[in-house]
Chain A
Amino acid sequence: MDAFKNWVARSGMGSILILALLIMVVFPLTMDIFRLNLVGKYLTYAFVAVGLVMLWGYGGILSLGQGVFFGLGGYMMAMFLKLEASDPEATKIQSTPGIPDFMDWNQLTELPIWWQPFHSFSFTVLAVVAVPMILAFIVSFAMFKRRVGGVYFAIITQAVALILTVLIIGQQGYTGGVNGITDLKTLMGWDIRDDSSKYVLYFVNAGLLIGVILLCRWIQMSKLGTLLLAMRDKEDRVRFSGYDVSMFKVFAFVLAAGISAIGGAMFTLQVGFMSPSFVGIVPSIEMVIFAAVGGRMSLVGAVYGALLVNFGKTYFSESAPDLWLFLMAALFIGVVLAFPNGLAGLYESHVKPWLSRRKSSPPAPSMEAPASSAHTPKTAPESSLPKGVQGQSA
């Protein structure tokens, strides 16, 4: 029993369980479908933040281009849905029926060859994860083998984000341009727009997120997790202990890319469109903010960070439309200055000692292990959740 308790405390299972309860039970019970769908959207960003915990927190590699992988995952899911929405019957008023509407507007007369495989759902699911991981592998292998790191790597990821945005916007006939891919309706005949399917998608998304967190936790507890931490501290020592440091960095980058892409695909399914505004530099930096606010060493913290920042964003953009960007910036700077380890760090340094003090004081009743992390932040966003938020930018 003690061994089990130890394992729970060491593995952080308690905090993951609390998070699972919160997003799978508490939120669905207390929110209507509109708000739940909104939370679902925030949780898709949490995938990227979780990936950043592995990449940035553990691996020490800052990427300012995670939007690329989120976007790629989202776009590929959108391509599949768009093809399904563009059957010849529904598009018979077009000059070329059977191709997506934006292609028709751009005088394309047939479906480009690289769109063809996205008729298949199984191919799409595979590609959603595989394509971003392959791209991440190529970029990071080229960089890390040449020992490019730190700020230089961050700048290169920014460049990739910019290139992809420009490419998507410029190739309007193939990508839908600046509007993105819109008007998505069904997934293999199943309408994704009605309330019941939104519930299903929310739970699929939440389940995937918990699954991804468990996977990352397992990696963190393996020797690979230890090595990532070791590399962050003393890269040369790891290299001269016989490890090919660059391949471990490539692994972290590819892992984060794959996770982000799953989030992107779930975003498309839940929100019903995908556009270049989720690919570029600004959204990529925002995703780093989620991880920083939540605590870049904490997987569950990253999820709370994504939720809190996005609730804040919704709230600020409604209550102070002209100032909200500045308020967001102030929140970020404030968090980084005051609690460099984010909400999870705040929990570790303040709440946990307080809990154990209470526990050890004589009259206090014995509480369950304080392994549950980041209990605190969740109340704040919930109470500040604004009603009727719509069309806020992200």
Chain B
Amino acid sequence: MSNTDFVLAIEDLTVSFDGFKAIDNLTLYVDRGELRVIIGPNGAGKTTLLDLICGKTKASGGSIKFKNQEMTKLAEHKIVRAGVGRKFQTPSIYENLSVFKNLEVSFPSGRSVLGALGFRCTDEVKERVQSVASEIGLADALDMEAGLLSHGQKQWLEIGMLLMQEPELLMLDEPIAGMSVRERELTADLLQRICKGRSVIVIEHDMDFVKRIAHKVTVMHQGKILAEGSMEKVQADPKVIDVYLGH
């Protein structure tokens, strides 16, 4: 496979679980600075695709190149260190630690065993925690135990933990699930801010939200890409209408 200018180039990606092809010969390119939304009915393979990119699931075939570096054979933590951040569907934060600690732990230094022993919370770290915390609207909650945050705040905290790592590719799995209308708006603004200077892939079901944030939409169905393009184009596509309404 040749090198490309895309930040993420997925080609002929396949994964099968006991013969069932959850992702079937999928090819997808994501540009630098792009905010891509992936939609599709349940079981279309959206989450599996993110799992494959971040190394949680190993591909049966095909290639995933991040900045022209092959990712399919790398260990998870190496993929993260290369610059790929992943937010899980259910908020995945350290409930027993304070918001500050949650963010501090995500700071990308002292990642080896000995490095962690020698890690000091320098002013630089504190500043980053502060700036990320104000970005995600949790600047006043730094000393709070993360488990006490509201559901929406937990989602933001996890996004903040990813921002600490300054990833070049950020993948968010249903970031607004369970959020109130107001929280959804704030999240949309947040996403529009953070996609400056990095690429973002979002999986989402809420079409109004998708319309608001997406640069480009990819529709998945049964492990394949059904349609790709702007929201208007995709919504007008008869195949997409068929998948969403036909069955």
A residues in contact (CB < 8 Å) with B: 219, 222-224, 226-227, 229-230, 233-234, 236-245, 247-248, 251
B143 within 8 A of A: no
CB–CB A223/B116 < 8 A: yes
Stretch of B41-49, B90-98, B185-193, B199-207 lying at the A interface? B90-98
| CB pairs A–B below 8 angstroms (11 shown) | A219-B117, A223-B110, A224-B113, A234-B92, A237-B88, A239-B80, A240-B80, A241-B105, A241-B106, A242-B108, A248-B113
Across the interface, do B93 and A234 meet the contact criterion of CB distance under 8 Å? yes
- Could you say which residues of chain B place their CB within 8 Å of the CB of A237? 88, 92-94, 158, 161
A242 partner, pick from B56, B158, B165, beta carbons under 8 A = B165
Task: Given contacts A222-B119, A239-B76, list 4 more A-B pairs with CB under 8 A.
Answer: A222-B118, A229-B97, A238-B105, A241-B105
Tally of contact residues, B, Cβ under 8 A: 33
Minimum CB–CB distance from B171 to chain A (whole Å) comes to 10
User: Is B105's CB under 8 angstroms from A223's CB?
Assistant: yes
Contacting pair B76 A240 (CB below 8 A): yes
| A222/B116 contact (C-beta < 8 A), A241-B80, A244-B75 known | yes
Closest CB pairs A-B (n = 7): A242-B80, A223-B119, A224-B116, A237-B92, A223-B116, A230-B94, A251-B113
CA distance A222 to B111 in the complex (A): 13
A123 to B6, CA, bound (A): 58
Whether A227 pairs with B95 at a CB distance below 8 angstroms is: no
B7 CB–A CB distance under 8 Å: no
Query: Which of A227, A229, A240, A243 contacts B54 (CB under 8 A)?
Result: A240
Name A's interface SS. Answer: helix
Chain B residues with CB below 8 A from A251, complex form: 113
With a cutoff of 8 Å between Cβ atoms, the chain B residues found around residue A238 in the complex are 105
Contact B105 A230, beta carbon cutoff 8 Å: yes
Report the bound CA distance from A109 to B241 in whole Å.
88
Find the B residue at minimum CB distance from A231: B94
Min CB gap A293→B, angstroms: 22
Indicate if B101 sits at the interface (CB-CB under 8 A).
Answer: yes
Kindly report which residue of chain B lies nearest to residue A218, judged by CB atoms. Answer: B117
Residue B150 at the A interface, CB < 8 A?
no
User: Across the interface, which residues of B come within 8 angstroms of A247, CB to CB?
Assistant: 112-113
B76 touches A234 (CB 8 A): no
Listed residue (A233, A237, A247, A251) with the most chain B CB atoms within 10 angstroms of its CB: A237
Instruction: Please encode chain B, from 41 to 75, with 1 for each CB lying within 8 Å of some chain A CB and 0 for all others.
Output: 00000000000001010000000000000000001
**Minimum C-beta distance from A194 to chain B (A):** 42
In the complex with contacts A242-B165, A247-B113, A226-B93 CB distance below 8 A: no
Q: Using Cβ atoms and an 8 Å threshold, which residues of chain A touch B158? A: 237
A252 nearest CB neighbor, chain B only: B113
Instruction: Specify which of B56, B92, B116 is in contact with A227 (CB 8 Å cutoff).
Output: B116
Report A-chain residues with C-beta under 8 Å of the C-beta of B81: 242
Contact A226 B92 (CB under 8 A): no
Given known A-B contacts A236-B88, A237-B88, A244-B75, A226 and B97 have beta carbons under 8 A apart:
yes
B56: A residues at CB distance < 8 A: 236, 240
Bound-state CA distance A238–B76 (Å) is: 10
Q: Which residues of A contact B88 (CB under 8 A)?
A: 236-237, 240
B93–A227 CB distance below 8 A: no
Quote the shortest CB–CB distance from A35 to chain B (angstroms). Answer: 39
Q: Chain B residues near A224 (CB, 8 Å)?
A: 113, 116-117, 119
Instruction: Determine the distance from Cα of A158 to Cα of B97 in the docked complex, in whole angstroms.
Output: 32
Q: Are B96's CB and A227's CB within 8 A? A: no
Does B86 reach chain A (CB closer than 8 Å)? yes
CB neighbours of A242 from chain B (8 A): 77, 80-81, 108, 111, 165
CA distance A247 to B114 in the complex (A): 10
**Inter-chain contact A226/B96, CB cutoff 8 Å:** no
List the B residue with the shortest CB-CB distance to A238.
B105
Would B92 and A236 count as touching, CB distance under 8 A?
yes
- Residue pair B101, A226 in contact (C-beta under 8 Å): yes
In the docked arrangement, what's the CA distance between A247 and B75, Å?
13
B105 and A227: CB pair below 8 A?
A: yes
Q: Could you tell me the distance between the alpha carbons of A251 and B85 in the complex, rounded to whole angstroms? A: 25
Give the complex CA separation of A248 and B112 in angstroms: 8
Q: Which residues of chain B are within 8 angstroms of A222 by Cβ–Cβ distance?
A: 116-119
Query: What's the least CB distance linking B95 to chain A, in Å?
Result: 6
What's the least CB distance linking A228 to chain B, in Å? 9
A-side contacts of B104, CB under 8 Å: 223, 226
- Contact for B161 among A241, A244, A248, CB less than 8 A: A241
A49 to B85, CA, bound (A): 38
